[in-house]
Homo-oligomer: A and B are copies of this chain.
């Protein structure tokens, strides 16, 4: 009685599996599929498909517009626009942060852009005694942090007016900052060496959504005594790779366009 194709140890869930697969294909398809699209892509009987969709719709997980397009429903929409959507980004990223921490021993941070500031949303602490305390929840300016520069390089509006001078090395003119951002964009990662606090070095790289826009930034932070130029170069490779892995998990496709659909 040969188990069907690739039945990975799952049984007793036919209906739910089908409904789940349906929902996934609706969430991942670029264009909202129609009933017909789903019918042919899933291979389900009309009646079955109709029943499953009705159930999903009844629970607000999908919505059928007048023209017959099947879209993510209000429950999904609400979640997508709520703060909680960041939690799941963190959850999805955590293993990568951890791996990066294991590889470098330094403090790893994940941050998002809030208004014109950078807010840390996750952190894995360094394993040295000399390290930073918990930065989660803290907001910092964009012009003097590696995390901030990543967002600026990703298209966030440049800061205005006189740039706050945090240290002697802070970039305090828009033109010098713009130059740095150009370098950052080309290089693929940002550097802030004693620009926020003397002796504090950070590098950061972008995490991208499937559309390519920068949705978060990943950073490695440590004292300049440990983050020497040679180390920085080495860590930057790891950092960019990790950020890239998260981006991929988010549906970003490295070279060409388009995200995976069903």
Contacts and interface: CB of A to CB of B under 8 A. Distances in A.
Contacts of A175: none
B54 A10 contact: yes
A178 B71 CA distance: 40
Interface string A137-157: 000000000000000000111
Contact of A88 (B54, B73, B83, B156): B73
A102 to B, nearest CB: 16
Given A15-B15, A79-B27, A80-B79, A10 B55 contact: yes
Nearest to A61: B20
A251 to B, nearest CB: 5
Nearest to A212: B83
Please state the number of chain copies in the assembly. Answer: 2
Interface residues of A, number: 64
B81 A85 contact: yes
A92 B12 CA distance: 35
Nearest to A91: B71
A45 interface: no
Nearest to A58: B10
Nearest to A154: B115
B82 A211 contact: yes
A39 interface: no
Given A58-B8, A60-B24, A79-B80, A13 B215 contact: no
Contacts of A155: 115
Output the residue of A21, A56, A72, A74 with the most chain B CB within 10 A: A72
A138 to B, nearest CB: 18
A136 interface: no
A211 B83 contact: yes
A187 interface: no
A210 interface: yes
6 contacts: A72-B85, A77-B88, A78-B210, A81-B210, A82-B209, A82-B251
5 smallest CB-CB distances across A and B, nearest first, come from A160-B160, A116-B157, A80-B80, A20-B59, A80-B85
